[in-house]
Chain A
Amino acid sequence: MSALPFHRRKDVRLAWRYLIAVLLVIVFVFPVYWLFIISFKTPDEIFAFPPVWYPASIQFNNYAVLFKDGDAWSVWNSLVLASVSTFFAMIFGTIAAYSLVRFKTGGENLAVWIISQRMMPPVAIVFPLFLLYVYFGWVDTYHGLIILYTAFSLPYVIWMMRGYIEDIPLELEESALVDGCTRWEVLWKVVLPMARSGLFATAVFTFIFAWNDFLFALVLTRTEVTTYTVQVTHYFGGQSNFWAKIAAMSVLGTIPVFFTVAVMQRYLVRGISMGAVKG
């Protein structure tokens, strides 16, 4: 290779990088493609041997069935649960993080205790939680799951927001106090706007955690607030699976997340790198 002039060597290198990049994209994207494409296939195409790699025409019958049977309602449930719990987790988590950072409330111990809650495996608390929820009558209710998702997201939100709030210069808050703002006004008018990009990034991840939850929803819902993740598993049968419904429901449940991530992309990349670097 050393015989090649420098710029040629660079071209060859770039070509290799493109080749590997394209192969990687094929491997990683093909399953997503397959999921989407099944949802547009007719039953004949789904159960064709050998498999059909793309449908003859795009048809939405598989989706129409979900809406007609009311199964699509589960996506709405997921949307309500994930957005409302994200909203509350962001508010409670941010003000708690502010207290931890600015006033060192509880010292390092409290912060460590809060973060350690993140390490708790859901399966360890889901059973006692179930008994508690039965006692309160919270099983299969919106508020029951919203409280649970909010609480479960809090350690993450507090952890992330702590890092962002530490970066806000104290002088800004102090001058706002001197100008006669109350402490709540300082929070609302100075801290929140300054931490905006961090708030957005953290909110997206919090939303996705709640959106992806399966175990809690499996245990704590019955018929009223079934989430889409639980609904998908209803289509698995012992002998045969309802492929069209699995695919269509999965796509319905995936689109809101794709959409959110696409809209919030610029915040996410910064959020991931900053959050990770700050630890």
Chain B
Amino acid sequence: MPAIAVHPDRNFKYWLLTPAIFLLLLVGLFPLIYSLIVSFMRIDMMDTDTSFAGLYNYANLFKDSRLWWSLAHTLLITAIALPIELLLGLAMAYLFLEKMPGRQIFIALLVLPTIISPIVAGATWRLLFDNKYGPINQILGWFAGERVNALWTINPTLVYPAIIFCEIWQWTPFMFLILLAALSNVDKSQTEAAEIDGARFWRSFRYIVLPAIWPVMAIAILIRGLDLFRIFDIIWALTQGGPGTKTETISIYAYVQGFKQFETSYTAAIAFLVIAILTIVCTWAIRRMGLAK
């Protein structure tokens, strides 16, 4: 025990924590308990039946194909965007690892997308993807040699590439920055020694670099994975979940149920499904990635 901790002035340490804990309980825990209670009732727009309804809402979750589709959409976007962001970010980090004149300027420019609000990123790409006045169809037209009239945010087969492209554009720089910092901290003498021994790039990456950057990389994957799982803003700006419900993610679906259909109790049940999934995935991921101390 360090000396400073032996005789803390009475209650001082609790005073320090009080405001933070109070706010977290008010905004974090209270709504959670409240919605847990509500999820066992049957409150919707027509009816405010507050009697105990058992697992009625939870049973409905399993019959709700729109819910499971929204979950599938969310996983699809995550499964495609996350690996691309990671690999592209890693490649970019390698590109800028060695010193080169103007390196700082390149890095500063590349980071711009990440510091833009996601809603603005979505809005920007909506302008870029516009079938007539947007530049993307125009540029594609140069390569195709004829006028391209792709309806990026309306056509069901093009809308996922559009969303994923926007997502990758915005968040690859985030991966890039974190991985660049991690790579810069790798002990150079080790990789150089391995190269002198004749080890190829992949071997030295696999056995020296990867173990060194893994703690940072794992956290970056976890943060981005969590963010992708609750993706809302970019899709809201680009498609609002459309066409139809084709790009509805779990966050968008919960929003629609809660604030458009006013299915209070059912929305609460969806929220707990999401929390359950996240808790399981996170616990598994943290163990699996060796993040737990």
Chain B residues, CB < 8 A from A96 = 16-17, 19-21
Interface residues of B in 95-127 (CB under 8 A from A): 95-96, 98, 100, 106, 108-110, 112-113, 115-121, 123-127
A46 touches B133 (CB 8 A): yes
Q: Out of A93, A211, A236, name the residue touching B20 (CB < 8 Å).
A: A93
Check A64 for interface membership: any CB of B closer than 8 A. Answer: no
B267 touches A92 (CB 8 A): no
Check A63 for interface membership: any CB of B closer than 8 A. Answer: no
Return A56 CB to nearest CB of chain B, in Å. Answer: 16
Q: Out of A126, A233, A243, name the residue touching B119 (CB < 8 Å).
A: A233
Q: Which residue of B lies closest to A21 (CB)?
A: B106
Select the residue from A95, A128, A258 with max chain B CB neighbours within 10 A.
Answer: A128
Q: Out of B255, B259, B291, name the residue touching A279 (CB < 8 Å).
A: B291
Chain B residues, CB < 8 A from A147 = 23, 26-27
Chain A interface category by residue count: 35 or more
**Chain A 61-96 interface mask (CB, 8 Å, partner B; 1/0):** 000000000000000000000000000000111011
Chain A residues, CB < 8 A from B282 = 119
Instruction: Enumerate chain B interface residues (CB-CB to A < 8 A).
Output: 2-5, 8-9, 12-14, 16-17, 19-21, 23-24, 26-28, 30-32, 34-35, 38, 92, 95-96, 98, 100, 106, 108-110, 112-113, 115-121, 123-128, 132-135, 138, 169, 172-173, 177-178, 181-182, 184-185, 215-216, 219-220, 226, 229-230, 232-233, 236-237, 250-251, 254-255, 258-259, 264, 267-268, 271-272, 274-275, 278, 282, 291
Instruction: Enumerate chain A interface residues (CB-CB to B < 8 A).
Output: 14, 17-18, 20-21, 24-25, 27-29, 31-32, 34-35, 38, 46-51, 53, 91-93, 95-96, 98-100, 102-106, 110, 114, 117, 119-132, 147-148, 150-152, 154-155, 158, 170, 173-174, 177, 183, 208, 211-212, 214-215, 219, 229, 232-233, 236, 241, 243, 246-247, 250, 253-254, 257-258, 261, 265, 269, 272-273, 276-277, 279
Identify 25 residue pairs between A and B in the complex whose beta-carbon atoms are under 8 Å apart, listed by A's number. Answer: A17-B98, A24-B110, A31-B121, A32-B113, A34-B127, A95-B19, A99-B14, A99-B17, A102-B5, A102-B13, A103-B12, A119-B278, A125-B31, A127-B35, A127-B259, A127-B264, A128-B38, A131-B264, A174-B3, A177-B4, A183-B9, A247-B127, A254-B117, A273-B182, A279-B216
Having A127-B35, A128-B31, A273-B181, one finds 5 other A-B pairs with CB under 8 Å, namely A25-B109, A104-B5, A155-B24, A214-B236, A277-B181
